Amino acid sequence: MNFDKIDREARKILRRNDRGGYTVPTAGLYPYQWNWDSCFAAWGFSTFDVKRAWFEIHTLFTGQWDNGMLPHIIFHKRADGYFPGPDVWDVPRVPHTSGISQPPVAATMIRSIYEADKRYGRVHMELIYGRLVSWHRWFIKNRMERGMIAITHPWESGRDNARDWDKAMANIDPTGVGEYHRRDTDHVDPEMRPKKEDYDRYLKIVYHNRDCGWNEEKIAKTGLFRVADVGITFIFLRACRDLLHIALELDHETAEIEGWIKDLEAGVENHWNPKGFYDSVDLKTGEFTDSLSSASFFEWYSGMSGDRMLGHLNRILDEVKFGVPSNDPEDEHFNPKRYWRGPVWGMVNTLIGIGLDEQGHIKTAERLRKETQELIAEHGFYEYFSPLDGAPEGGDVFTWTAAIWLTWAGPHAKGRF
């Protein structure tokens, strides 16, 4: 296997998806700047061009709202035909953005970028630190309940059609959304994407929250969807730990961040489903979603030590060939082709693997890294893959798959935490 060639291809993909200060996840399918995709891209750039990495971060934060929210899409340039575009979101600001957020990996990725070159990164870290704090405060003020972090739309989770949302989505009446044309199914086999009935409900939530003027208090009271996402809670807890590290590095006050971490650590227990796994919680009904998803294994990445998820993890790793699928293979709804219903994602393997390594589960972490390495080396830089045979799925020449090859999965990886 010519790993040097694969390294070059990964760097080429990051350059190819560069739109002049920000990267798109892949051409055509995703023509704008996506929040957590962009953070992974910056992490990837930091392995060979730290200046470009910081440029990515600063461009991302041009989309931040005055209240601290960092949207999941920033519409820097017009892309005709994309749906839902800025006219649908109707957010009165420039650059135009969506009205919802996305998994807050920024502090974690920015910390790694900074540590790649502290001398160059110091001034950039000082500039971005306040914006990070503002975004974290937004989550604490508007989305923390019982120490868990709520999402008001499945798209905020980054796991759009995950099993976690089935019960909550079933309670939404999708009538009245009107006719629309999805661009994603023009580029990718519809069997690999969320179904139309999912999309109808996604849009119903968007239209409702837009009619609330994107006011978080109104949405909390009247919103159609509010679920404490186990993935977001774990990711946010990790991000707060990294934000604390940055604060100490810059000699800023830390009491506020330390308080967030304490509350989140306590809240993690509220995600524990008595059936024996970490789970999301429908805050409108108080019920667990009964979904053992890949996000359930972010426990170690969040900085929580423990072994009560190891049994599930080892079972799943033995049932599939390439890492942690997005849905439990034993779930009756498991589908190895359809987006977050079963496929494996390289960047999810990465976060789980990093956590395992940090919490002392070295052999399992290395197994996961090797499987991810083999997956990409044999099947390419795709958005996601079948966990059973590695069949490539979703978009091709994908930014964050290239990024995690350079930082974690590849044998020459330079940006590991």
Q: Which residues are catalytic?
A: 160, 383
Distance CA 138, CA 120 (A): 29
Tell me the two tokens of residue 243.
């934000």
Angle between helices 230-250 and 255-268 (to 10 degrees): 160
Is the peptide bond between 95 and the residue preceding it cis, with omega within 30 degrees of 0?
yes
Residues with Cβ within 8 Å of 331's Cβ and at least 6 positions away in sequence, in order, are: 163, 291, 292
Residues with Cβ within 8 Å of 255's Cβ and at least 6 positions away in sequence, in order, are: none
Q: Number of helices (H) and strands (E), helices first, in the chain?
A: 16, 12
Which pairs from 11-16 meet CB under 8 Å and 24+ separation? Answer: 11/48, 11/402, 11/406, 13/381, 13/397, 13/398, 13/399, 13/402, 14/41, 14/44, 14/45, 14/399, 14/402, 14/403, 16/397
Distance CA 308, CA 364 (A): 14
**Which contiguous run of DSSP H or E holds residue 187?**
helix 184-187
Tell me the two tokens of residue 175.
């009538």
Residues with Cβ within 8 Å of 234's Cβ and at least 6 positions away in sequence, in order, are: 268, 278, 295, 298, 299, 301, 302, 304
Pairing of the two strands 144-145 and 96-97: unpaired
Answer for the pair 44, 10: CB distance below 8 angstroms, yes or no: yes
Computed on alpha carbons and rounded to an integer, the radius of gyration of the chain in Å comes to 20
